[in-house]
Amino acid sequence: MNLLRTTKKRILVTGGAGFIGRALIRSLLLETNSFVINLDKLSYASDLKQIESLLKEFPELESRYLFYKFDLCNDSLIDNVIREIDPDFIFHLAAESHVDRSIEGPKIFLESNINGTFNLLQASMKFWEDLPLDRKNNFCFQHISTDEVYGSLGDEGAFDEKTPYAPRSPYAASKAASDHLVNAWHHTYGFPTIITNCSNNFGPWQFPEKLIPLAILKALSWESIPMYGTGLNIRDWLFIDDHIRALLLIASKGIRGSNYCIGGYGQKTNYQVIKFICSYLDKINPQTDSYLTLITSVEDRPGHDFRYAINSQLITKELGWKPIFTFEEGLTKTIEWYYKNIDWVRSLHDRDHQL
């Protein structure tokens, strides 16, 4: 099945009010003729302004978009909801995703990421089993996960599709469990699934609890920019547009039952990331002192993974994907967007602190 060339497919995106989900819905509406259903429980990090802005700019897209406010943990109603949505394809992104919050309160991560995925798998499989043969053969459940399920790397090496799971935080453990559930449903029941594990995403419209938008917000508010320990922990950064291209390509051409690792080849220490942000803001919005003076070392979090890196050779070899944006290009675009939209960032940050 080539998702981008088919017409009138009904595509369900769970977690479509989150950072990656919103970007995916935008691409689906602009680049396909599919009908897109956004299912989200609207938690603290949810926001629909990006989609609302898109529909305002292109009102003709409204006829191909529908929003459902629903919590996947509601197992008593989920069967009816999935049958009502009547999907041909499911992108499952709904998840709690912040490591620090998982350390402070792990229960909701187990409920959302494990129980929610289980409920969705069960309801989706029941629905799939009753589909006509042509729709059944083209159906797929694509589960979007993280590289954090693989644990932490030393100075060398990279995660790939054969790396053993070794999660080290409640968040990573809950995502690892959800990956295993999806994999088990494929091998036990023949349910058509694909799993993707991506590195750290960044870009415009990201909720300001994550490193990059938080650093930009703190800098532009002239507040201390928190940096864990020495800032030498390394992440592989993936620009959101490159991730969305990978997800759509996998949906179109990926092999059912497979998993694909998606990385940006953008390994940077946390200090390098924050330094780039500060130095760039010094150029476009100079102050009396450099933004670099705001960087403040804070106590490291428990079990902080040292390094993540992804080997994306499989998706490159099988499907021809590779990132278009360098880390510097993506971060420049991101800083400029937040600089122009800082009021949106502050409103979300303030709303979160009022909850």
* Catalytic, out of 40, 96, 147, 305: 147
- Nearest to 122, CA basis, from 172, 177, 80, 174: 80
As a whole number of angstroms, the distance between CA 176 and CA 113 comes to 9
Taking the C-alpha atoms of residue 304 and residue 337, their distance in angstroms, rounded to an integer, is 29
Task: Write the burial class of residue 302 (CB in 10 Å: 0-12 exposed, 13-18 middle, 19+ buried).
Answer: exposed
Choosing from 71, 88, 150, 171, which is the catalytic residue? 171
In 123-266 the beta strands, taken as DSSP E runs, fall at 140-146, 193-198, 200-202, 225-228, 234-239, 259-262
Closest CA to 79 of 109, 111, 121: 121
For 193, list phi and psi in degrees, rounded to 5. -130, 160
Catalytic residue among 40, 71, 88, 148: 148
Token pair for 131: 């589909």
**Amino acid, single-letter form, for residue 117:** T
Q: Which two tokens stand for residue 32?
A: 């396909």
What is the Cα 38 distance to its own chain's centre?
15
Angle subtended by helix axes 116-129 and 78-85, to nearest 10: 50
Contacts of 135 (CB under 8 A, 6+ apart): 88
> 96-100: long-range contacts (C-beta < 8 A, 24 or more apart)?
96/43, 96/171, 96/174, 97/18, 97/45, 97/146, 97/171, 98/45, 98/171, 98/209, 98/210, 99/148, 99/169, 99/171, 99/172, 99/301, 100/209, 100/301
> 76: burial class by Cβ within 10 Å (0-12, 13-18, 19+)?
exposed
Distance CA 54, CA 175 (A): 30
**Does the annotation mark 171 as catalytic?**
yes
Residues classed as catalytic:
147-148, 171
